[in-house]
Structure 1
Amino acid sequence: MKSDKIIEEILGEIEKHEGVLSRRDAMKLLAASPIAAGVLAGTTTTTEAYASSDAKGKIVIVGGGLAGVATAAKLTNKLSNPDITIIEPNPHSVSYQPGQTLVAAGVWQKSDITYDTANFIPKGTKWIKEMVVSFDPANNKVKTQSGMEVTYDYLVVATGLVLDFASIKGLEGEIMSSGDNEIVRKKVGKNGVYSIYFADGAVDTYKGIQELIAKAKAHTGSEKLQALFTDPATAIKCGGAPKKIMYIIHDLLTKAGVRDKVELTFCPSGDKMFGVPEYNDAIFEQFKKRGFKWEFKTNLVAIDTEKKVATFEYKWLEKGEYDEDLKEYTMIPMSKNIEKKYDFIHITPPQKAPDLVGKSPIGSSKGWVPVVKETLQHVTYKNVFAIGDVAALPMAKTGGSARKEYAVLVDNLIAVMEKKEKLPAAYDGYTVCPLITSLGTVMLAEFNWTAKPTPSFPLDPTQERWIWWLLKVYALKPMTIYGMLSGRA
């Protein structure tokens, strides 16, 4: 896809919000944003000039979401005679998940983030509309739900992860971000319990926020209403999302004139706001300025949705006996359960690799697919690669990570197909978190495995800025959907 097509899609997004941003200002945004410039610069090469390898082999990609389809597209562009099969049952697997936060905020509708997978499957790529139920890497094959055995020369695992609501006592279901979610919505999406981690959940969350505002307006008691925001002990996609929804609700309560009637408390299982010290410090200051509360090392383990009581496991260390040899005290891990009443709770569910992956020969004891983090090649099976949320990579479960990963994976996979001994490309852990801090400001947190800010533009990355809000709302989705999914961004 050419860059002018992406620009038109961005301008189309702007026209949906007429009066907020002019086309001229939009072009200035694209010129100022190094992320946008980088995407647009990478979309100008024709397919004929782009193809560079005559390598042969049957490639099977399990998972047809953002990472899987983008990988197929880039392989199609770079191989002169590609033989690619995608196995994916969901007709809407390429939905734009980062937009779920904006749906909950009332800025977008669900239709703004839902796409038909069929519209993005690269020309010539086979699509098996089934679920894989087993992996047999020793014999280079997978089996689908209907019993079909699909052989491969090279395998790319891009299944995404599972939202494990069932691991919280009182809730049910393991679901993906899109697709069937009826079992989870028995309890989540009503009666004060919400989650933006799946598309329908984001729609429900917007309704729940309006109910909280109405309740606050009618509230006459001396005690404040309680809104809780959880962050689990597992790795999660979009680590900033549990905080984004808190900022959004603060902003909407403030605009409604009832912020003083609701106490907002962040309850993360860890002991930091963010893994990068500079962003961690900035978020602390933002929390203090907004009057947020926080309680570290509190992990949601149970919930009574009828009584509106959430149970958290609180962990800490206590000093034990003094060790004469080590010249230090033994630290004893302690824990206890704490119950908290709530009027509104946003649940970030524990997350894991699908069991069919994590418990298979290509999985690991921790569930995720173990890969060499720089090359994305499986640690055991050299013709297997993994990408996106399912890969065992630190700090990398975002669309921004996948955008960097898929180019690395394709170059390395082609190198393996060409029988090269050394893999040419290396992923440095880059990711980006557009941390929404209000309906109008974003802190654009870019970083990599150095745990240091890696800003693409010479601005203080710890500051909340209107320009990054414009990037988030208007530019990132078209750049992703029409840039990355064409294999050129």
Structure 2
Amino acid sequence: MHASRRAGALLKLKPSFAARARWASTTAEKDKYKVVVVGAAADTAFRANPFVGSGGLTVANQIYSRFRAAGKPLAKGDIAILDDAEYHYYQPGWTLVGAGLKEKAETRKPLDSLIPSHLAHIKENVKAFSPQSSSVTTTSGREIGYESLVVATGLQINWGGITGLSKALADPSSGVSSIYSYNTCDKVWKDLDALRSGNAVFTQPAGVVKCAGAPQKIMWMAWDRYQQTGRGDKIKIDFYNGMPTMFSVKKYSDALENLRKERGVGGHFQHNLVSVDTGNRKATFKKSDNSTVDVDYTLLHVVPPMGPLDFIKGSPIADEAGWVAVDKETLRSTKFDNVWAIGDCSSLPTSKTAAAITAQAPVLTENLFSVVDTGKVANANYDGYTSCPLLTGYGQLMLAEFKYGLEPKESFSSYPFFDDQAIPSRFFYHLKKDLFPWAYWNYMLKGSWFGASGFIRPKYPPSTPQ
């Protein structure tokens, strides 16, 4: 049979989880894999997303390790990572770049260098999902089959959602910058440090945002920088937030609101940036009543609107909003039993952060392993844990940790001196600045860092019949 016809015939077959013995690799077929981990579909202007990001690399390595630990190792190349990105980015580091604490080159590494030899790397992106035949189609038209699919594509940053923004970011003298892109995060520091007087405006859109605390982290760092350099009384800082409060979790929101008032930072809520006029240095915001207001700025830090990726919206695996539809506890698709999702692309009702990945990855790994091994999901449940390390100045950080229901779930509150994580701490600051980047590059991406659990993979009780 012709090779393309043989591949097509294989892709039409449903995966049989009853045939457990077939899990060991028995074929050299290059277009069908035991597990396919999918990255993002395309790059857009000013967008340097991590493609197969922290979720994809972490879970691919954890899956491989989990089968080995169970004495059922996968063969080399049984797990494929599908992504054509040249670099992988440590996006939490862009806030540190914007604050002058790191060089942006420290926040990226060649993707090839991060993928171990036991994982296959297919340098293509996905164009379409065909879960009925357990396959995906790449942008080149190639069909790739799988027995289990993990979607870890991240989300889409809609730079074009704000009129004039792309032009402003490309203009070195515009005074407009954003920490949400590798290409512009260093411009944040240049603009911030060069400002001597005037109006510094920081924005946050309504809706989903990668790390919802990041828009104000850079604002607090700017405020502290201006105080330390004697410019505080010459620069007026305002926060224009599309949300109704400073933060979604009341405990931290109240603390941040008090901090805002203490520091004299203007708070303007339910204001969404809709356009930037660099010629007149004006930013236009739409309010909750649909009226608009023009604001003069000298420095403007912009957080663009975000949402699901275009190639996922309307696909068979997506929900009505365009996110990959998954069970919020197991991370398994609510539509297809052999499809899973992790991180920003998923419908999980929690904040989209790298810290959330550390809690999600072992749950997904355990449940996927159990389905393949026994035919049923394990008792591994994700409780919505996420963390947002909120920089409030140089040498100080508020460590917000919470779970579903916007309830605090703090790792240090039971220890002496850390009874209230809403109080900024130098210790927490160094976790963000020094420990987290080190753990990310050396352990998390390799599947051996589990966030609040450190180097110890969480244990789950035996599964029960379902």
Shorter-normalised TM-score: what interval? 0.7 to 0.9
| Corresponding residue number in structure 1 for 2:286 | 313
Question: Does 1:204 find its partner at 2:184?
Answer: no
Question: Does 1:256 find its partner at 2:216?
Answer: no
Unaligned runs of 5+ in 1: 1-52, 173-182, 217-224, 316-333
Cα distance in structure 1, aligned partners of 2:343 and 2:227: 36
Do the aligned partners of 1:408 and 1:427 also contact (CA within 8 Å) in 2? yes
Question: Does 1:88 find its partner at 2:83?
Answer: yes
| Corresponding residue number in structure 2 for 1:61 | 37
Q: Secondary structure at the match of 1:357?
A: coil
Do the aligned partners of 2:23 and 2:34 also contact (CA within 8 Å) in 1? no
Q: What is the CA distance between 1:452 and its match in structure 2?
A: 2.2
Q: What is the CA distance between 1:254 and its match in structure 2?
A: 1.2
Counterpart amino acid of residue 415 in structure 1: S
Closer, same or farther: CA 450–365 of 1 in aligned 2, 3 Å: closer
TM-score scaled to structure 2, two decimals?
0.82
Q: What is the CA distance between 1:282 and its match in structure 2?
A: 0.5
Do the aligned partners of 1:132 and 1:144 also contact (CA within 8 Å) in 2? yes
Q: Secondary structure at the match of 2:279?
A: coil
| Corresponding residue number in structure 2 for 1:23 | none
Q: What is the CA distance between 1:388 and its match in structure 2?
A: 0.9
Q: Secondary structure at the match of 2:445?
A: helix
| Corresponding residue number in structure 2 for 1:75 | 63
Q: Secondary structure at the match of 1:361?
A: coil
Identity of aligned residues (%): 36
| Corresponding residue number in structure 2 for 1:140 | 134
Q: What is the CA distance between 1:286 and its match in structure 2?
A: 1.0
Q: What is the CA distance between 1:234 and its match in structure 2?
A: 2.4
Alignment of 1:152-167 (within 5 A): 152-167=146-161
Alignment of 1:278-317 (within 5 A): 278-315=251-288
Output one character per residue of 1:75-98: Cα deviation in whole Å (capped at 9) or x when no partner: 1111211510101111212x2111
Q: What is the CA distance between 1:54 and its match in structure 2?
A: 9.1
Cα distance in structure 2, aligned partners of 1:308 and 1:58: 54
Closer, same or farther: CA 185–298 of 1 in aligned 2, 3 Å: closer
Output one character per residue of 1:353-408: Cα deviation in whole Å (capped at 9) or x when no partner: 21011232222221211111111111111111111111112223100000111111
- Aligned match for 1:383, one of 330, 338, 349: 338
Output one character per residue of 1:412-452: Cα deviation in whole Å (capped at 9) or x when no partner: 11122124334321100111111000011001111111322
Q: Secondary structure at the match of 2:290?
A: strand
Do the aligned partners of 1:165 and 1:184 also contact (CA within 8 Å) in 2? no
Q: What is the CA distance between 1:227 and its match in structure 2?
A: 1.3
Cα distance in structure 2, aligned partners of 1:440 and 1:274: 21
Closer, same or farther: CA 265–137 of 1 in aligned 2, 3 Å: same
Do the aligned partners of 1:453 and 1:461 also contact (CA within 8 Å) in 2? no
Moved more, 428-437 or 299-308: 299-308
Do the aligned partners of 1:300 and 1:311 also contact (CA within 8 Å) in 2? yes
| Corresponding residue number in structure 1 for 2:219 | 246
| Corresponding residue number in structure 2 for 1:265 | 238
Closer, same or farther: CA 403–336 of 1 in aligned 2, 3 Å: same
Question: Does 1:97 find its partner at 2:87?
Answer: no
Q: Secondary structure at the match of 1:200?
A: coil
Q: Cα RMSD over matched residues?
A: 1.7
Q: Secondary structure at the match of 1:367?
A: coil
| Corresponding residue number in structure 1 for 2:396 | 441
Do the aligned partners of 1:378 and 1:384 also contact (CA within 8 Å) in 2? yes
| Corresponding residue number in structure 2 for 1:16 | none
Cα distance in structure 2, aligned partners of 1:184 and 1:134: 33
| Corresponding residue number in structure 2 for 1:467 | 427
Counterpart amino acid of residue 109 in structure 1: E
Alignment of 1:398-477 (within 5 A): 398-457=353-412, 458=414, 459=418, 460-477=420-437
- Aligned match for 1:186, one of 170, 183, 198: 170
| Corresponding residue number in structure 2 for 1:169 | 163
Do the aligned partners of 2:201 and 2:237 also contact (CA within 8 Å) in 1? yes
Counterpart amino acid of residue 241 in structure 2: P
Q: Secondary structure at the match of 1:355?
A: coil
Structure 1 moving runs of 4+ over 4 Å = 53-57
Cα distance in structure 2, aligned partners of 1:414 and 1:54: 14
Cα distance in structure 2, aligned partners of 1:122 and 1:372: 30
Q: Secondary structure at the match of 1:257?
A: coil
Cα distance in structure 2, aligned partners of 1:230 and 1:367: 25
Do the aligned partners of 2:168 and 2:278 also contact (CA within 8 Å) in 1? no
Do the aligned partners of 1:190 and 1:204 also contact (CA within 8 Å) in 2? no
Q: Secondary structure at the match of 1:208?
A: helix
Do the aligned partners of 2:34 and 2:146 also contact (CA within 8 Å) in 1? yes
Cα distance in structure 2, aligned partners of 1:69 and 1:184: 34
Counterpart amino acid of residue 337 in structure 1: T
Q: Secondary structure at the match of 2:424?
A: coil
Q: What is the CA distance between 1:184 and its match in structure 2?
A: 8.0
Do the aligned partners of 2:168 and 2:174 also contact (CA within 8 Å) in 1? no
Q: What is the CA distance between 1:123 and its match in structure 2?
A: 2.7
Do the aligned partners of 2:169 and 2:177 also contact (CA within 8 Å) in 1? no
Counterpart amino acid of residue 62 in structure 1: V
Question: Does 1:229 find its partner at 2:189?
Answer: no
Higher helix share: 1
Question: Does 1:351 find its partner at 2:334?
Answer: no
Counterpart amino acid of residue 87 in structure 2: H
Cα distance in structure 1, aligned partners of 2:57 and 2:441: 10
Counterpart amino acid of residue 376 in structure 2: E
